[in-house]
Amino acid sequence: MMDKELEKLSRLTPPAADPEARARALAAAMQAFDSAGNNAAAAQGNAKGWRPSSIINWIWSPAVNKKFLAGSALATLLVIPAAGYLTRELTRNQPIIDQENIAGTVSKKEVPIPTGRPAAPALSEAVTEENRLPQSSAADSAQALQDKEQAVAERKSDFNSDDISALLNKRGGTMPEGDKRSDASSAVAPQQQLAEPMAVAPSPAPPTESRMQVQVDSSRERFANAAANPIKSVATDPISTFSADVDSASYSFVRRSLTGGAMPDPQSVRVEEMINYFPYDWPRPENAEQPFKATVTVMPTPWNHDTELMHVAIKGYDIAPATAPHANLVFLIDVSGSMDEPDKLPLLKSAFRLLINRLKADDTVSIVTYAGNAGTVLEPTRVAEKSKILSAIDRLEAGGSTGGAEGIEAAYDLAKKAFVKDGVNRVMLATDGDFNVGPSSDEDLKRIIKEKRRDGIFLTVLGFGRGNLNDSLMQTLAQNGNGSAAYIDTLAEAQKTLVEEAGSTLFPIAKDVKFQVEFNPERIAEYRLIGYETRALKREDFNNDRVDAGDIGSGHSVTAIYEITPKGSPAVMNDELRYGVPDKVPAETSGSAHQGELAFVKMRYKRPGEDKSALITTPVDDRNTVATVDSAPQDVRFSVAVAAFGQKLSRTSALDAYPYQAIVDLAAASRGTDAFGYRSDFLGLIRLADGLDQR
């Protein structure tokens, strides 16, 4: 009778176990194990404290739990001892993995490292106990491992992708999108039901073949750059036209990379911004009637004895602080979640505190933030109420997505509300460049900024942080908002940009500044403009007052350098044309009155508030020429050293044979007065690049 009843019972299928109850029980058991007096430190070589587990055991355990424990009681009695024995055999001879070394190795391959809180230190005792067990011979262990892997392979056919996905979710991993299924039957217990018993950290899933394809540190930084300017023949293309550029962001990008131990992305290097980062003592105009004057020097090229450099420098009129116009500033501050890093919002807040201390009591400050929805943090407030402004800055916190376009609209509305006639009305946008909500294309934002500048409100763009900096967008907004772009990577850089150079940053003296250089084909065969690739203009744009160009602030200096090839030099790259180019050379350049000239420099600019441009011209002849590099003015030589370094970093082939040490020597010999240490720091960057460059 008993046998018949047992036989009948064996044919019955017991009800399936409640998955939520089983999950809670399993979590409670894990917690109990970890808290049962197992407080030893993590095993040596396992700094993260995770439970060591082979890939076989990682897959086998949930398969046993899901397929067997939910089945008959008889299967449970048979499988659990076998699973325990198999787990011990598979893990006992495996070395404990050094998680930190793996993290370093894997990160180089852009493989995600499982994260999570460290498990309780009970693991070390379990491993110690495991090591006390008798060991099999190598041959037996190998055979046993092969047999057990065969068994596991057979069981894996019953272990579907839903099981893997659920397990990965519990262990902090991810499932490749192509392998996920949406079957309701594969759902795991709700997170809120597991929260309490899962106080201990989940064991990280070991990396598998499919997960090795995922990248975790993909930088979203985008740089505004273009191919290097080519060598042009004066016979066919004698005129070069470009917009002034007073931005300095590229130098800070380069410094950030080199001091971080990496060569900068060549696309991040804009040579003209590196040159214009430094203050120079170029001759300046005597009064504001002519806002700037040009100084031209022609000297031998340090990296090519068969060419020369034509160095064009201008210095803007410097407005005395006492006569500076009143400022109406609106701080448009990105407080999105991506700004929640030490070198972003906290640095931004410190930077603006420095600027507040630089402003006059009658100046006005407003604050608008944007993250999802724009919000006015501070209505227009006089700087005399400094504590109120500083308190508003201190209260800023990061969180949310980035709705940049809406914030820009709100900021311009505030600037218009507090508009100062004949004063400085400027929006100062501070962001890590991540515009991902609303009209986020460069063209849409460009259109918004162009519309607003007609009201006399200019724009300054300050970039912070790394990882998703959108330099391309920063450049677009600044150029179309009659403003400038800078990158703040340290508080010292904030001091330089917002305090020491506040006049040039805030107070414009000329807008839509354009350069046009015409070379004399009788003297010059070829030329190459160094930098300004993103500022190139068409020849006809020079006289078109509707074409926007760069602005120059109080005391700003702008430098442009051409590498020129004299007529008859062995460095000429282009063959002479067989049939000549009639009508290409203007008649006036062939006359005797201009035969001695090398080039003719023209500059156009508009005064603030005016729409018609004025013209400044400067002929270049042998009186501008120096015989040797050492006889060139000190600031000229230093700026040439910066130009050489920028070209070297941007992989310009003309500098391939010119060593970093030669750049160091040139810069060191022309360092001169260095009140703030900028030039000394530059020498350090060259040496860093020399050590890091593996070419």
- The enclosing domain of 633 has a CATH number of 2.60.40.1230
Confidence of residue 37 (pLDDT cuts 50, 70, 90): low
Phi-psi region of 13 (alpha: psi -120 to 50; beta: other; left: phi over 0): beta
Q: Are residues 537 and 443 in the same domain?
A: no
Question: What confidence category does residue 594 fall into, taking pLDDT thresholds of 50, 70 and 90?
Answer: confident
How far apart CA 514 and CA 603 sit, in angstroms, is: 6
The type of residue at 455 is D
The whole-number pLDDT of residue 584 equals 53
With CA atoms as reference, report the closest residue to 252 among 462, 431, 460.
462
Q: Are 293 and 581 in contact (CB under 8 A)?
A: no
**Long-range CB contact pairs, 609-617, < 8 A, 24+:** 609/422, 609/456, 611/545, 612/545, 613/512, 613/545, 616/290, 616/292, 616/293, 616/294
pLDDT tens-digit series, residues 127-140: 344 444 444 444 45
Distance CA 457, CA 483 (A): 10
Q: What would the two tokens of residue 526 be?
A: 């070829």
Specify the pLDDT at position 445. Answer: 73
CA distance 464 to 225: 19
Residues 6+ apart with CB under 8 A from 644: 302, 303, 655, 658, 662, 663, 666
pLDDT above 90 (res 229): yes
610 belongs to a structural domain = yes
Which structural domain, as residue segments, surrounds residue 335?
A: 321-503
472 - beta bridge partners?
none
Of the pLDDT bands very low, low, confident and very high (cuts 50, 70, 90), residue 221 is confident
Nearest of 596, 525, 622 to residue 564 by alpha carbon: 525
Across 423-472, where does the E strand assignment appear?
424-431, 458-464
Among 90, 122, 104, 113, CA closest to 171: 113
Residues 238, 234: Cα–Cα separation, whole Å? 4
DSSP for 221-263, please give it. Answer: -B----PPPPPEETTT--EEEEE-----HHHHHHHHHHHTTSP
- Domain membership of residue 579 (yes or no) is no
- Same-domain check for residues 539 and 643: yes
The answer as to whether 545 is a domain residue is: yes
Instruction: Report whether 223 contacts 472 (CB < 8 A).
Output: yes
Reported as a single tens digit per residue, the pLDDT across 152-176 is 455 444 444 444 444 344 334 444 4
Amino acid at 640: V
Span 90-142, pLDDT tens digits? 544 444 444 444 344 434 334 343 343 334 343 333 334 444 444 444 445 45
482 and 340 within one domain = yes
Cβ neighbour number for residue 594 with a 10 Å cutoff: 16
Residues 483 and 517 in one domain: no
Task: Tell me if 450 is assigned to some domain.
Answer: yes
Phi, psi values for residue 317, rounded to 5°: -65, 135
Co-location of 330 and 196 in the same domain? no
Q: Compute, in degrees rounded to 10, the torsion defined by CA atoms 129, 134, 139, 145.
A: -40
What's the rounded Cα separation, in Å, for the pair 482 and 610? 13
Q: Rounded CA gap, 553 and 544, in Å?
A: 22
Same domain, 152 and 292: no
Q: How confident is the model at residue 269 (pLDDT cuts 50, 70, 90)?
A: very high
Q: How far apart are CA 275 and CA 178, in angstroms?
A: 50
Strands 232-233 and 373-382, sheet pairing: unpaired
Is the per-residue pLDDT at 238 higher than 60?
yes
Residue 246 binned pLDDT confidence (cut-offs 50, 70, 90): confident
- The pLDDT score that the predictor gives to residue 82 is 56
Sequence-ordered list of residues with C-beta below 8 angstroms from that of 691, at least 6 positions apart, any chain: none
Distance CA 121, CA 412 (A): 57
> Is residue 458 domain-shared with residue 477, that is, in the same domain?
yes
**Residue range 87-92: mean pLDDT, rounded:** 51
Same domain assignment for residues 25 and 169: yes
Whether residues 313 and 297 share a domain: the answer is yes
Q: Is residue 55 in a domain?
A: yes
Has residue 490 got a pLDDT over 70? yes
d(CA 128, CA 204): 21
CA–CA–CA angle 303, 309, 310 (5° rounding): 165
More confident residue, 153 or 336: 336
Q: What is the pLDDT of residue 159?
A: 42
Q: Which helix (H) or strand (E) holds 368?
A: strand 364-371
Q: What share of the chain is helix, strand, coil (3-state, %, to 5)?
A: 40, 20, 40
The stretch 473-498 carries a mean pLDDT of 87
Identity of the residue numbered 265 = D
Residue 110, Cβ neighbours under 10 Å: how many? 13
The reply to whether 130 falls in a domain is yes
Write the single-letter amino acid at 164: I
Structure token pair of residue 652: 């310009």
How long, in residues, is the chain?
695
Q: What is the C-alpha R_g of the chain?
A: 34
Pairing state of beta strands 599-606 and 508-519? antiparallel
Q: What is the CATH number of the domain that holds 404?
A: 3.40.50.410
Say which range, 466-470, 485-489, 575-579, has the weakest mean pLDDT. Answer: 466-470
Mean pLDDT score across all residues of the chain = 76
223 vs 154, higher pLDDT: 223
- Asked whether residue 253 carries a pLDDT value surpassing 70, the answer given is yes
Q: 677 lies in a domain?
A: no
Domain check: are 164 and 307 in the same one? Answer: no
- Residue among 433, 469, 554, 478 at smallest CA distance from 248: 478
How high is the pLDDT of residue 324? 83
When comparing pLDDT for 114 and 515, which is higher?
515
The last residue of one of the domains, among 452, 487, 503, is 503
Percent of the chain past pLDDT 90, that is, above it, reads: 43
Query: Is 499 in the same domain as 515?
Result: no
Which whole number is the average pLDDT over 41-64?
46
The pLDDT value recorded for residue 39 is 47
pLDDT value for 179: 41
Q: Which of 413, 400, 383 is nearest to 345 (CA)?
A: 400
| 3-class SS string, 627-638 | CCCCCCCHHHHH
Compute the distance between CA of residue 81 and CA of residue 536 in angstroms, rounded to an integer. Answer: 76
Residue with more model confidence, 401 or 670: 670
Q: Are residues 398 and 544 in the same domain?
A: no
Distance CA 346, CA 326 (A): 28
Classify residue 427: in a domain, yes or no.
yes
State the pLDDT at residue 593: 63
pLDDT at 472: 78
Among the candidates 481, 503, 525, a domain finishes at 503
Helix axes 249-259, 678-692, angle to 10 degrees: 50
Nearest by Cα to 307 from 630, 561, 637:
561
Q: How many domains does the chain have?
A: 3
Say how far apart CA 346 and CA 490 lie, in whole Å. Answer: 11
Distance CA 125, CA 545 (A): 80
